[in-house]
Structure 1
Amino acid sequence: MEYVNTDMLNAVSLTFKLALVTSVLLLLIVMPLAWFLANWRHSAKSFVLSIFALPLVLPPTVLGFYLLIAFSPESALGAWWLDLFGSTLAFSFEGLVLGSLIYSLPFALQPLYSGFTQLNKGYLEVATSLGFSPLETFFRIVLPQCKAAVIVAFGLSFAHTVGEFGVVLMIGGNIPTETQVLSIALYEQVEALEYERAHVMSLGLLVFSFVALALLYRFDGNKRHSAVSQHRVDS
């Protein structure tokens, strides 16, 4: 039996394309959001954070079901998309991207929010005294100091998107080269009793997940060690 075929390679390519697009867009969207939340003082803050963290505990099929309804041509969003682009949002790559943005959002938000809240506010005071604008302060002071949080946010959202199943199945179905990502292709192989190919896909996802997490933990640990050492020197 041929363990790797064209359909499998297409699924791998589509999966990593989806993960890359989702992770880049998430960083652009979540960085200003996390910075705002880290500096926001309001009694409703815990409620707002709970809303953004909901995908962490909500069953993926539940979220996928409501997204499928929202993406259908009968909904306002789905009808607007159909009028604008001439294609449906459901069962399309664009729909997968939008669904992945929502499903993976907390995996990008949490590391950035944690990094921004732990930032030494003394750096901000120095930047203000030097006449930096808020935008200059964010790009020249905040982001370099929180580089580890940015990398962890990107890595976690990428790895999480690679492993999506319930949401992508509900809103994307199983269309080869269009919405058939690796987790869906794996499910299809199991249904067809093609266990050898299923083993290859599963092992590949297992190795990728382990390596990705090991690298992120190692990078984050090294960064924290450097930060502690620098703090001791400064003290």
Structure 2
Amino acid sequence: MVDIGSLDLLPFLLSFKLAGLTTLILFVLALPLAWYLSQTTSKTKPVLEAITALPIVLPPSVLGFYILVVLSPNSAVGTFFEDLFGVKLVFSFTGLVVASCFYSLPFMVQPLQSGFESLNKHMLEASYLAGKSRLQTIWYVALPNIKPSLITALIITFAHTVGEFGVVLMVGGSIPGETKVASVAIYEMVEVMEYGKAHVYSGIMVLMSFVVLLSVYIFNQKQKKIGIL
């Protein structure tokens, strides 16, 4: 029997902190990208979409390896950040945030892009004719009319980041209080055969994932009913 009070909740707090920062950063970065992909007719669109979707099909260990190489102190990127800001990007929480942004990018971009593509074009044209800028049109016209896609993008990105394992282990390792997130903690428990604690940690992850998905589906169902009415 596992004593619940003895469980270390710091890995979960780190996971939620990582997921929150990643979701916020990706929303800012993915919004213009998703808008561009939804509006462009350029021949390069399929190439950009394929590059954006790569983290979905690439094994996390492969993606994590290349991110590790790019962010290492021996690389130009790693050297730049360490010399200018004094920040090490590997085996640090900052590096986890950078890696998570790459890994979770398609989970933010694709729902937003799908939502933008479903918008009535006449609505956007009317906004431009009224003198609204592109940014104003996105913020005040487009986003309020794609609430299901927006909520899906935010929640799925957050949940997906919480469940990361391969990429965060490759880039961040397992430093208690720094990079040891919940998924890594579960892996280490299994390694030392602490199956009781692993069951509890895994159960929390399963419950959280189910609640997140259920919330998304309930919200989208309500939005569809409102649309029908």
State the TM-score, normalized to the length of structure 1. 0.93
1:150 correspondence with 2:158:
no
Q: What are the ranges of 5 or more consecutive residues in structure 2 without an aligned counterpart?
A: none
The aligned residue for residue 136 of structure 2 is 136
- Structure 2 CA distance for aligned equivalents of residues 5 and 96 of structure 1: 27
The aligned residue for residue 182 of structure 1 is 182
The aligned residue for residue 159 of structure 2 is 159
- Structure 1 CA distance for aligned equivalents of residues 13 and 107 of structure 2: 22
The aligned residue for residue 5 of structure 1 is 6
The aligned residue for residue 233 of structure 1 is none
The aligned residue for residue 91 of structure 1 is 91
1:17 correspondence with 2:17:
yes
Cα shift at 1:3: 3.8
- Pairing 1:51-200 to 2, within 5 Å after superposition: 51-200=51-200
- Structure 1 CA distance for aligned equivalents of residues 216 and 56 of structure 2: 19
- Structure 2 CA distance for aligned equivalents of residues 121 and 219 of structure 1: 25
Cα shift at 1:226: 2.1
- Structure 1 CA distance for aligned equivalents of residues 5 and 136 of structure 2: 49
Cα shift at 1:122: 1.6
- Structure 2 CA distance for aligned equivalents of residues 35 and 127 of structure 1: 15
Q: Deviations over 1:203-230 (max 9, x none)?
A: 000000011011111112222332243x
Q: What are the ranges of 5 or more consecutive residues in structure 1 without an aligned counterpart?
A: 230-235
Cα shift at 1:22: 0.3
- Structure 2 CA distance for aligned equivalents of residues 202 and 184 of structure 1: 11
- Structure 1 CA distance for aligned equivalents of residues 5 and 43 of structure 2: 54
Letter in 1 for 2:21: V
Q: Which of structure 1's runs of 4+ aligned residues deviate more than 3 A?
A: 3-6
Cα shift at 1:125: 2.1
The aligned residue for residue 214 of structure 1 is 214
- Structure 2 CA distance for aligned equivalents of residues 30 and 225 of structure 1: 28
Count of matched residue positions in the alignment of Structure 1 and Structure 2: 228
Cα shift at 1:146: 1.3
- Structure 2 CA distance for aligned equivalents of residues 224 and 40 of structure 1: 27
- Structure 1 CA distance for aligned equivalents of residues 152 and 124 of structure 2: 23
State the TM-score, normalized to the length of structure 2. 0.96
Cα shift at 1:4: 4.6
Going from structure 1 to structure 2, the CA distance change for 1:29 and 1:87 (only over 3 Å counts) comes to closer
**Which is worse superposed, 126-135 or 67-76?**
126-135
Q: Are the equivalent residues in 2 in contact too, given 1:3–1:196 (CA < 8 A)?
A: no
1:33 correspondence with 2:45:
no
- Identity level (%): 47
The aligned residue for residue 232 of structure 1 is none
